[in-house]
Structure 1
C-alpha cells in the first residue's frame, strides 16, 4: 500500500577464524605483519582460492592475544552459505602459512573469531555473510488506517524501545523489536541452519517522520550479518526446495553466481522490516496483549477455571 520496499546488498563475505600459536608473542607479531603484507596475503589467497571454483578470499583480519593469532578469513562463496567451502580453503591456507613459518601450531580451524552461532560484536561491526539494508515509506493514511497508530507515536516508541532500551540492556546488534522471529521462520522454511539465526538477526531499525506534512513514516532495517545460501545443507530437502522455488531463488544462479543467495538475503531483510512495522504498531497502539489473547490462544478443549486433570502414571 505504501509502494513497496527497496533493498540493497552492502557486502557479501562469509568468514572463518582459526587460531594458531607461535613460540612467543614477538614471533606471533612477525607472522601477523607478514599476513598483512602484500606478498603474505597474496600467498595465502592463492592457496585459499585454489580449493574451490567459488571461494575467493577478499581480506584477512588478524588479531593477536599473547602468542595466539586469530586469523579471520573473509571470502565470497557463490550461492552456498559456505562454511564447509571456506573451512577447506582455510585449512589449505594454514598449510602454506606453516611452510613459511614452520613453528606455527594450528590449535583449531575455528577459534571463535568467525564468529558462528554466537552473539559477537565482530559480526555486528565487520559483517558476516550478506550485509543488507532495506527501506520503505509508509503514507500517513496507511499508518492511521491500517497500522492504527501515528507516525509520531511510532518514532517515539522506536527511539525509546529499540534504541535507548536496547542500549540500557547493553545489547549487541539487538536494536530491533523482533527480527529473530522472522529470520528463524524463514530459515526453517527455506532449509537454512536455524542456529545461525543468532548472528543473522543482528538488526537496527530506524524510523523517522517524512513527507510534506511530516506525517509519513520512513523506516529502515540494516542487517550486517545474514548467513544463508540457496544450495547445500537443508536446501536440498523437498519442502524447503519448494519454498525457495516459490521465492524464485532455488539452487545456484546460472547467470550470476551468488545472486540467488543475495536475493534471499534481500527477502529476509524486507520481511524483517514488515515484521518490525507490525509489532511496533501494535505496541504504539496498545494492541499487543489484546492481539496475542485473540490470535495466539487455542479456543479448543480449554479447561474450565478450577478444573484439573490426572497425570498419566
Structure 2
C-alpha cells in the first residue's frame, strides 16, 4: 500500500505531486478530504525493476553512502551484490552487514591481550608465530581469492573474507604472520582501510606496491581426522585421531577409549570395521 504522506515527504520534487490512476482519474493529495486517508480509498502499488535514471527519480547518490558508511563499504557492497555480468536490484538493507564486517576486520588489528583479549582502540599485532588453525584459514583464503580474482567472481571473495575474519576472531589471532598478508589480500576490495592498517603495521610505502601473498598448500593438509564412531551402524561419538595411523592403530585407539567401553557395556564386539580416513563401525 502506498503511504501518500511518506511518498510526498520522501523527495522535495514529490511534495506537490498528483497521481493519475488506472482509470484516468486525477488524484490530488493536497485537496481535502483526500489528504486524510485519500477519501477512504486505498492505493496499491507494485515494484518494478529498472535501471537507475535521473528521469525516473531512482538514482542513489554514492556521495551520501560514502558520507554515512565510507567508500570501502560502498565498494565492497557493490562487489558483494553478485556477479559483475549480471544486473542486480539495488537494496540498501545489506550495506549495513558489509559495514559491520569492515569494523570487525579493523578490530582484528586492535585486539590487545592487555584487555584480556577484548577489543580495544589501541593497535596491536604480535610477532609471535601463528597457530596452525590461523595459517590454515589464511592460506585457504589466499587460494579462494586468487581463483575468484581470475574469474572476476568478486562477490564470493567478499564472502570468503567474512568467513576468514570470523574464524580468525574466534581463534583470537593477532599474529603478524597472518594479519599482514590478510590486509594485502583485502586491499583491492577495501583500499582505504587496508592502506591505513598497512601504515600501522610499520610500512612506509603504499600497500599497492606490496607483493601478493603466495598460497602454500601444505597448510591445508589435514593432520588429524574426526572419525565418526558407530555401533551397529548408529553414530555415537567422534574421535580425533592422526591421519597417518594404521588400521590396527586406529582400532586400538578406539577400543581403548572410555566412550567405547561405555557403549559396549562389557560386550565383546563380533566385528570391527575400520576404513582409514573415513569411519569406524563396531558390530555386536
Normalising by structure 2, what TM-score?
0.27
More strand by share: 1
Q: Which has the higher contact order (CA 8 A, sep 6+)?
A: 1
Greater C-alpha Rg? 2
